[in-house]
Chains A and B, each alone.
Chain A
Amino acid sequence: MKTWSTALISAPALALSVGLAGLPRGGVAAENAPSGDVAIPAEVHAQGEKLYKKNCRFCHGTKGTSGKRLSGNEKLVDADYVAHVILVGPGYMTPFAEHLSDEEIALIVTYVRNAWGNAYGPVAAEDVAQLR
Chain B
Amino acid sequence: MKRTSWLLATSFVALAAALPVQADNIADYTPVTAERLAAPEEGNWLLTRRTYDGQAHSPLTEITTGNVADLKVAWSLPTGPYAKLSDFAALPARPAHQAPALVNNGVMFMTTPDQQIIALDAASGEEHWRFRHDLPSDIIPVHPTNRGVALWEDKLFMATLDAKVVAVSAVTGEKLWEATMENWENGYYSTLAPLVVDGVVMAGTSGGEFGIRGFVQGFDANTGESLWKTYTIPSPKEPGGDTWPGDTWKTGGGSVWITGNYDVKNGLAMWGVGNAAPWIGDMRPGDNLYTTSTIGLDPKTGEIKTHFQYHPNGNWDWDEVVPPTLMELDGQDLAVRFARNGWIYKLDRTDGHFSFVDGRPYVYQDVFTELNSETGRPSYRYEKVAGTGKRASFCPSAWGGRDWPGDAYNPGTATLFISVNENHCGSAEGAVVEYEPGVLYLGSGLEMYPTEDAKDHIGALQAWDIRTLKKKWQVNFKMPNWGPVLSTEGGVVFVGGTGDAMFRAFDAETGDMLWSREMDGGIIAPPTSFEVDGKQYIAVTTGWGVDGDRFQGFIDAGMGTETKIPQGGTIWVFAL
Contact = CB atoms under 8 A, between A and B. Distances in A.
Given A58-B439, A91-B446, A100 B89 contact: yes
Interface string B1-19: 1111001100000000000
A25 interface: no
Nearest to B431: A69
A59 to B, nearest CB: 5
Contact of B90 (A65, A68, A95): A95
Given A95-B4, A98-B4, A98-B8, A62 B90 contact: no
30 contacts: A54-B88, A54-B89, A55-B89, A57-B439, A58-B140, A58-B142, A59-B439, A59-B440, A60-B440, A61-B436, A61-B440, A62-B436, A65-B433, A65-B434, A66-B433, A66-B434, A66-B436, A67-B433, A67-B439, A67-B440, A67-B442, A88-B4, A92-B553, A95-B3, A95-B7, A95-B90, A96-B89, A97-B4, A98-B7, A98-B90
A94 B433 contact: no
A67 B441 CA distance: 6
Contacts of B438: 58
B92 interface: yes
Contact of A55 (B88, B446, B447): B88
B89 A68 contact: no
Interface in B409-464: 431, 433-434, 436, 438-442, 445-447
Contacts of A98: 4, 7-8, 90
A94 B440 contact: no
Q: How large is the interface on B (under 10, 10 to 19, 20 to 34, 35 or more residues)?
A: 20 to 34
Secondary structure call for the B interface: loop
Contacts of B553: 92
Contacts of A96: 89-90
Given A88-B4, A97-B4, 20 more contacts: A54-B88, A55-B88, A55-B90, A58-B142, A58-B438, A61-B436, A61-B439, A63-B436, A65-B433, A66-B433, A66-B439, A67-B440, A68-B445, A69-B431, A91-B446, A92-B446, A95-B4, A96-B90, A97-B1, A100-B90
A101 to B, nearest CB: 10
B535 interface: no
B440 A58 contact: yes
A38 to B, nearest CB: 26
Interface in A78-95: 88-89, 91-92, 94-95
Interface in B80-100: 88-92
A94 B138 CA distance: 16
Contact of A94 (B92, B436, B439, B446): B92
B3 A91 contact: no
A95 B1 contact: yes
Contacts of B433: 65-67
Nearest to B547: A92
Interface of A: 54-55, 57-63, 65-69, 88-89, 91-92, 94-100
Contacts of A89: 3
A9 B132 CA distance: 52
Nearest to A97: B4
A45 to B, nearest CB: 20
B550 interface: yes
B549 to A, nearest CB: 10
A97 B92 CA distance: 13
B90 A88 contact: no
B434 A91 contact: no
B562 to A, nearest CB: 13
Interface in B90-123: 90-92
B440 A66 contact: yes
B441 A66 contact: yes
Interface in B474-528: none
A89 B438 CA distance: 20
Interface string B532-556: 0000000000000000001001000
Contacts of A60: 439-440
Contacts of A92: 92, 446, 550, 553
A57 B185 CA distance: 12
Given A55-B88, A63-B434, A65-B434, A91 B445 contact: yes
Nearest to B89: A99
Nearest to A62: B436
